[in-house]
Amino acid sequence: MSQLPNRMLPFQAMEILKRARQMEAAGRQICHLELGEPGSPPAPRVIEAVAKALPLAQGYTNAKGMMELRQGLVDYYAAQHGVSVAADDIVATMGSSAGFILAFHAAFAPGARIAITRPGYPAYINTLIGLGFVPVEIPVGPGNGWLLTGAEIEAAYSKAPFEGLLFASPANPTGAAVDRAGLADIVASCKKLGVRLISDEIYHGLDYRGASVSALELTRDAIIINSFSKYYCMTGWRIGWMVMPEELIRRTEILQQNLFISAPTLSQIAATAALGERDYSEERKAGYAANRAVLSAGLAGLGFDIGHASDGAFYAYAGISRFSNDSLAFCEALLEQAGVAATPGVDFDRVDGHNYVRFSYAGTAETMSLALERMAGFLRA
């Protein structure tokens, strides 16, 4: 466990994207494996619903969101997770990113220490620091598939206590996904320590070993954050949701009224339609699953260290120690020389990330094959 420097850093995936776009403008063709976003648009019926609503859907909605969307989410929890949630405890947010801001301010006071895993999604640290909270890192490693355990939470807590734990399964950048027993272990440790769990479930639906387990199936004390960005292919619509414990919902509503007023109306309409289009998302997922197999085998064949293929999301977090101990320089060279964009591990892990690169397999099968071919040439050179 380590205390972090009080400093926001650039999101390297976005820096690499910026450079890749400049190269494209100059005529280069780039394989994009840096971005954590699906290559496909949302389901056609989502676009149709928005087109139909466009002339009328111009105003704010209720701060918590349109009732149609929240009712759709109630039905989603009943169907996918077998849990009953009240529409009143759900808030539609501007992506999960806004959900984090609401969650931190609803549950904690600035200065509170919030634990996260290392490696982890870079915005966790940067958002916490930016808002005056104190991130506390709990390292996870490849030895046990990058999974966080209750014992690790308790060991970190005994060194220096924290009030909250923000945790994602499946995780970014590793794709590590806990099973029901693993999540129950985490929930139990948080309960024992009096730590508020924030469960980032944005990659739910993208579990390759079986159904995703929501923390809601195990506890009503956790804050649940989710989003339409990944499974529903709606990153740019900036729409997500949170399910709050009853004692925090009123404060969350007040925060939303003041910070964001409401989530974008058209995006809420789109999201309501997307909930009925899971078959479309399952087809996309089948594509990611095929890419996952090709990319994992291909990277291993090239000498990257990737253990077994990730269990969820659409990322391969690959060790590069055979080639370099500077992931940023490695990614810059890979982009400039081979036209393959990938994200350096330092984005996700300021301590050990120089030995890792994250590849996203959310793109097309053709992109995966071309990227592997180009990397083979790059590594031979």
Which of 31/242 has CB closer to ligand PLP? 242
Provide the minimum distance between the beta carbon of 340 and ligand PLP in the complex, in angstroms, as a whole number: 20
Nearest by Cα to 362 from 294, 293, 296, 291:
291
Provide the minimum distance between the beta carbon of 200 and ligand PLP in the complex, in angstroms, as a whole number: 5
Which of 348/378 has CB closer to ligand PLP? 348
Q: How far is CA 369 from CA 315, 334, 358, in A?
A: 16, 15, 16
Q: Is 33 exposed, middle or buried (0-12, 13-18, 19+ CB in 10 A)?
A: buried
Provide the minimum distance between the beta carbon of 73 and ligand PLP in the complex, in angstroms, as a whole number: 15
Nearest by Cα to 274 from 90, 84, 56, 75:
75
Provide the minimum distance between the beta carbon of 274 and ligand PLP in the complex, in angstroms, as a whole number: 13
216: alpha, beta or left, given left = phi > 0 and alpha = psi -120 to 50? alpha
Which positions touch ligand PLP (CB under 6 A)?
A: 36, 95-97, 121, 168, 172, 200, 202, 227, 229, 235, 240
Task: Report which secondary-structure segment, H or E, holds 256.
Answer: helix 246-259
Phi, psi of 181 (to 5 degrees): -65, -40
Provide the minimum distance between the beta carbon of 172 and ligand PLP in the complex, in angstroms, as a whole number: 4
Which of 252/339 has CB closer to ligand PLP? 252
Which of 228/280 has CB closer to ligand PLP? 228
Which of 17/300 has CB closer to ligand PLP? 17
Two structure tokens written together for 104 = 């931190």
Q: Residue 173 half-sphere exposure, CB side, CA atoms within 13 Å?
A: 30
Q: Give the length of the chain.
A: 381
Beta bridge partners of 223: 198
Which of 168/197 has CB closer to ligand PLP? 168
Provide the minimum distance between the beta carbon of 367 and ligand PLP in the complex, in angstroms, as a whole number: 18
Which of 314/378 has CB closer to ligand PLP? 314
Which of 108/124 has CB closer to ligand PLP? 124
Which of 104/121 has CB closer to ligand PLP? 121
Provide the minimum distance between the beta carbon of 108 and ligand PLP in the complex, in angstroms, as a whole number: 18
CB-closest chain residue to ligand PLP? 95
Provide the minimum distance between the beta carbon of 231 and ligand PLP in the complex, in angstroms, as a whole number: 11
Whether residue 227 contacts residue 281, with contact meaning beta carbons closer than 8 Å, is answered with: no
Nearest by Cα to 200 from 235, 175, 169:
169
194: alpha, beta or left, given left = phi > 0 and alpha = psi -120 to 50? left
Q: How far is CA 118 from CA 139, 153, 249, 266, 350, in A?
A: 5, 12, 29, 36, 8
Provide the minimum distance between the beta carbon of 36 and ligand PLP in the complex, in angstroms, as a whole number: 4
Distance CA 123, CA 206 (A): 21
